[in-house]
Amino acid sequence: MTKKIKPETLPDFDPAQHLETSEDMAAYLSIVMEEDDPALLAAALGDIARARGMSEVARSAGVTREALYKALRPNAHPRFETISKVCKSLGLRLHVEPAH
pLDDT higher for 95 or 80?
Answer: 80
pLDDT computed for residue 86 by the predictor: 94
Question: Is residue 99 predicted with pLDDT exceeding 80?
Answer: no
Q: What is the average pLDDT across 19-39?
A: 92
DSSP string, the chain: -PPPPPGGGSPPP-GGGG--SHHHHHHHHHHHHTT--HHHHHHHHHHHHHHH-HHHHHHHHTS-HHHHHHHTSTT----HHHHHHHHHHHT---------
CA dihedral 12, 15, 17, 19 (to 10 degrees): 170
Rounded Cα distance, 69 and 49, in Å:
9
Q: How sure is the predictor about 56, in pLDDT bands with cuts at 50, 70 and 90? A: very high
Q: What is the average pLDDT across 42-61?
A: 94
pLDDT computed for residue 39 by the predictor: 86
Question: Is residue 94 predicted with pLDDT exceeding 70?
Answer: yes
